[in-house]
Amino acid sequence: MTYTVRNWKDQRDNSQTGMEPMKGATRRFFLGRRLLARHLLAALVWLLCTGGSIQADDLRAADLRAADPATISGKTPAPNSRWEASSGETSLTFDPGVLESLGLSVEGSKITAIPGQPGEYRLRISPLGRLQFWAPHAAFDGFASGNLQHMGGLSLSFPGGRVSLSDFRLQPSGPDGLNLVDSSGTALLKLDYVHTYLDPQRRELRLQNMDVRITPALAQRLGNPDWTGLVIGRAFTRTNVSIPMGGTVQGLCTSPSWHNGTTQLTDVELTAISAVQQVAREAGVRVAIAPSATLENVGTADVPWYPKFTTTTGETFPAPYGMDQHPFLVWAVYRNSGGVLEQIGVSDVKHAFFAQNNACGCSGGSVLWSANSSPNGVGCNDVYGINTNDNPLYLGLRDEVEPHTGVFQQCGSMFAPGATPPGPCNQTVTGAPADEFARRLVVTESKLQTGGAEYWMDAWYVVRDDVNLFNGMAHVTLAPVLNGSMWNFNPGATIHGGAVDAWVAANTATSTQAHVRAGDSDGHYSLAVRVTSLGGGLYQYVYVLMNYDYEPRFDTLALTVPAGVTVDSFSFFDADGPGANDWTVSQAGGELSWTAPASAELRWGRMNTFKFRANVAPEQGSVSLGLDDPGGEIDVGILSLINPDLVHKDGFEDP
C-alpha cells in the first residue's frame, strides 16, 4: 500500500494565520508577472535607500559568509540536499496578555486573523535574502546558513523606550531555530519549536507554530534580564523554495506500519518539558500556565497524528482506526506543604495536530514515524511550544476523550455540537472562548506563595494503543517567583512518571510511606500514603488517589478503624479547592470513608487528597476504593490502621 500524506495543512494553517489558501501552482507566492514586478521594484527601492550595489553572486556569497553550514547544523549531507528559501512573508502574532504583564506594546500595521484571536502583523520578505536548509529526500533536516531579509517592520514600546524591529532578518540560531535580528545585527527574538512543512511540488516551505521568545539582548534592553526566554507570541513564515540540481523530491516515509499488538507496538515517550510559562493572569487572583513538550516515537509502530476534522462531510476517515486519530496532551500543577500533596490546577485537553518528525529523515505531517520506518534508523521526535500547546483552537474538553482507549468522537463534541457520531462531519465552532481562562490550567495565585512548599508540574500524552503510559508521562520541579506582574516558574530536570512519584516513589513500601501504582484493562491509577509522627502518640495520615486514565471513575475511599483507634482532624483537597463537589467524610460501623457527591467522581487526570489524625502508627493493611460501576470496588494493600492492642512492641501481630 502506498501512503499519501493528506493535504490538510492549507486549511489548518490558514485558520490560524489568516493567510489566504493557495489554489494550485498558479497561486504560488509572488510568481505572477505583476507580483514579480512589485518585488523587483521593492528590491530597487531597498538598494536606493541603503546605498547598496549588487555584483554577480554578491548576495549568495554574503549569505554563505553568514555562517558555516556545518557549524550551524552539525551535518555534512550531500550538496544536492541543500535547498534554498527566498521571498514570501512572515506573520507575527503577539500574546496581548503577556505583553500587558510585561508593560510592552507593539506598533505596526495589524490585520485581524480570526474573530476572537489577537491581530497579526504580516511582513514581506525581500527577494534579496536567501536561507539555506538541508532537505535530503525532501525532508527538512535543519537550517544551514543565510537569512531572510524582511521589508518594513514593527517596534516594541516599553516604559523606558522603544525597540525597532524594522527591516529585521531571520537567520539560523542553530539547526532547529531562527533568530530575529535587527538592522544592527543584534538578535532580539528567538523563534523555536518550529513545525516545518516542505512541499516540493509547490516549491514552498512553511515554518509554522514557532514560539517567539525574548533573547538576553532584548531582556537587557527592556531592563529585566529575568525575562530572557519568555514567549510573547508565535510566528509563521512562508517562502518559495529553490531545489538544487539533482535534489530528490520524493520522500522516503510513505507506507506506515500501524500497531498490531504483537510485532508492531505503539510507544510514545515524553522526553522533555523544557519551558513552563504564565499565559494569562488576573493580578492577585489567578494565573494560567502552559508547558512546552518534546516527544519521541520509541515504539515499533508508526503513530497516526491526524488533526481533528482532517476528514469532513462526504469524505472517508483514514486508516488505521477509521477516525481522525491523534494524541492528546494534559498537564497539572501540584503543591506539597507540610507533607500534604495537593493538585492545585489541571488543564483540559490539547489536541495534537502535526508531527514534526525531527532527526529521522521523514517529513512532517500526519504520522509520527518509528525507527522501523525511518531511513535514519531512529524514531522521529516532535516538538510543541508554549503557544502551540496553549492555542485555544486546539484546547478541548477533557471529558470528551476516553482516556484509556484514546478515542475522541469529534462529531457531537464542543467543536461540532449537534452533529451525530461517528461522522465524518464539519467543525462548526472555531475561535477562542470569551473567557481567557477557559480550558487552560488555572492556579489561584495564593497557592503559589506558600512558604517552604515544593511544587511540581506533570504532563502526559494520551495515545491510542500506547503500551507504556508512564514513559509518555513526565514531571518537573517548579520554583514559582512573581517578577513584577509576570510569574517565572524555573522548571527543573524532566523525570519520567507523574508528580505523585516525586512525593513517594512508585512501588515504595516502608514503615512510614507507600505508593501502589497499578493498572488493569480499565486503566491506571496510584494510591500513595505518607504518615508523619506528630508527637505524643499521634500521627498524621495523608493519602492521595490519582486517576491517570481509569474508567470507571472512583467515588469512595474507605479504611477500617479498629476498636481502640481514635481518628479526627479530617481534611479533603481537590484541584478546584473547597466547594460543593468536595467528598464528604463519615465514620460509622468501624469504617472511615470519603464519598463523592453526585457527578463529583474522580475523573481521569485528577487527584484527590485525604488527611486525618490517628492515635496509632501505621501497619500494612488495605484501603478500599469504590467505583461508579454498580458493585465496583478495589482493595489496595497499603499502609493503614490496625488495632494497637493486637500489636506487640516488636511490631508483630498476635496470632
Whether the pLDDT of residue 232 is over 80: the answer is yes
**Do the strands 130-134 and 120-124 form a parallel or antiparallel pair, or are they unpaired?**
unpaired
What contacts 609, CB < 8 A, 6 or more positions away?
Answer: 340, 341, 342, 343, 542, 543, 544, 571, 572, 573, 574
- The reported pLDDT for the residue numbered 631 is 76
Alpha carbons 200 and 510: distance in angstroms, whole number: 60
**Which of these ranges, 93-97, 183-187, 457-461, 617-621, has the smallest mean pLDDT?**
93-97
SS3 120: strand
Per-residue confidence (pLDDT) for residue 24, from 0 to 100: 38
Which is nearest to 250 in space by CA: 544, 570, 2, 23? Answer: 2
- Dist CA 477 CA 402 (whole Å): 28
CB environment 184-220: b (16+ within 10 A), e (fewer): eeebbbbbbbbbbbbbbebbbbbbbbbbbbbbebbbe
Residue in the block written with cell 472555531: 430
Same domain, 112 and 204: yes
Q: Decide if 252 is inside a domain.
A: no
3-class DSSP state of 550: coil
Q: Which of 446, 481, 499 is the last residue of a domain?
A: 499
Q: Residue 101: pLDDT above 70?
A: yes
pLDDT at 184 exceeding the cut of 50: yes
- Residue 61 is predicted with a pLDDT of 33
Whether residues 364 and 472 fall in one domain: yes
C-alpha cell at position 366: 500526519
Residue type at 153 in one-letter notation? G
pLDDT band at residue 222, thresholds of 50, 70 and 90?
Answer: very high
Q: Which three cell numbers stand for residue 512?
A: 512510614
| 377 and 359 together in one domain | yes
In a domain, 249, yes or no: no
Nearest-angstrom CA–CA distance, 203 and 201: 5
Domain co-membership, 22 together with 149: yes
One-letter amino acid at 518 equals A
Is the same domain home to 312 and 459? yes
Which residues are paired to 179 by β-bridges? Answer: 171, 190
The verdict on residue 226 lying in a domain is yes
Q: How far apart are the C-alpha atoms of 45 and 169, rounded to whole Å?
A: 17
Q: Is 314 left (phi over 0), alpha (psi -120 to 50) or beta?
A: left
Portion of the chain with pLDDT greater than 70, in percent: 85
Instruction: Say how far apart CA 631 and CA 591 lie, in whole Å.
Output: 18
The answer to whether the beta carbons of residues 528 and 513 sit under 8 Å apart is: yes
Range of the domain at 539: 504-646
In this prediction, residue 73 carries a pLDDT of: 44
Cell of 536: 505524643
Band (27; pLDDT cuts 50, 70, 90): very low
Question: What per-residue confidence (pLDDT) applies to 434?
Answer: 87
Confidence (pLDDT) at 120:
85
In this model, does residue 22 exceed pLDDT 80?
no
Inside any domain, residue 428: yes
Residue 3 domain-assigned (yes or no): no
Contact 456, 499 (CB under 8 A): yes
CB 545 within 8 A of CB 627: no
Q: What's residue 431's pLDDT?
A: 83
Total domains in the chain come to 3
Q: Report the pLDDT value the prediction gives residue 75, as an integer from 0 to 100.
A: 54
Q: Is the pLDDT of residue 469 over 50?
A: yes
Residue 38 has pLDDT above 50, yes or no: no
pLDDT of 609 > 90? The answer is yes
pLDDT at 638: 97
Q: What pLDDT sits at residue 643?
A: 62
> Does a structural domain hold residue 27?
yes
| Residue 393 shares a structural domain with residue 481 | yes
Instruction: Please identify which residue in the block is written with the cell numbers 553572486.
Output: 57
Task: Tell me the per-residue pLDDT of 541-590, one tens digit each, with 9 for 90 and over.
Answer: 999 999 999 999 999 999 999 999 999 999 999 999 899 999 999 999 99
Average pLDDT value for the chain: 87
Query: Residues with Cβ < 8 Å from 49, sequence gap 6 or more?
Result: none
Extract the C-alpha cell encoding 648: 506487640
Quick one: average pLDDT of 486-509? 97
Cβ burial 6-21 (10 Å sphere, 16+ → b, else e): eebbbebbebbbbbee
Regarding whether 89 and 118 lie in a shared domain, the answer is: yes
Residues in contact with 58: Cβ distance below 8 Å, sequence separation at least 6, in sequence order: none
Examine the domain organization and report whether 491 and 568 are in the same domain: no
Distance CA 547, CA 608 (A): 9
Residue 371 corresponds to which cell in the numbers above? 525507527
- 63 or 338, greater pLDDT: 338
CA dihedral sign, ordered 311, 313, 319, 320:
positive
Assess whether pLDDT exceeds 60 at residue 58. no
Q: Is the peptide bond before 424 cis (omega within 30 degrees of 0)?
A: yes
User: In this structure, is residue 261 part of a structural domain?
Assistant: no
pLDDT in tens, 281-328: 999 999 999 999 999 999 999 999 999 999 999 999 999 999 999 999
**How many whole angstroms separate alpha carbon 599 and alpha carbon 229?**
41
Q: What is the largest CA-CA distance in the chain?
A: 99
Quote the CA–CA distance of 485 and 318 in Å, as a whole number.
Answer: 47
Strands, E, within 193-254: which ranges?
195-199, 204-214, 231-242
C-alpha distances (whole Å) from 231 to each of 95, 215, 234 are 9, 10, 8
Residue 19 pLDDT exceeds 80: no
CATH number of the domain bearing residue 566: 2.60.40.290
> Is residue 315 domain-shared with residue 460, that is, in the same domain?
yes
Residue type, 159: P
Please tell me whether residues 487 and 563 are part of one structural domain. no
- Are residues 308 and 403 located together in one domain of the fold? yes
Does residue 61 lie in a domain region? yes
- Choose one of 455, 482, 499: the last residue of a domain: 499
- Considering 499, 534, 556, which residue would you say is the last residue of a domain? 499
Q: Collect all residues with Cβ–Cβ distance below 8 Å to 165 and sequence separation of at least 6.
A: 153, 154, 155, 156, 180, 182, 188, 189
456 and 324 in a single domain? The answer is yes
Q: What contacts 4, CB < 8 A, 6 or more positions away?
A: 254
Per-residue pLDDT band for 79 (boundaries 50, 70, 90) equals confident
Taking 50 as the threshold, does the pLDDT of residue 9 lie above it?
no
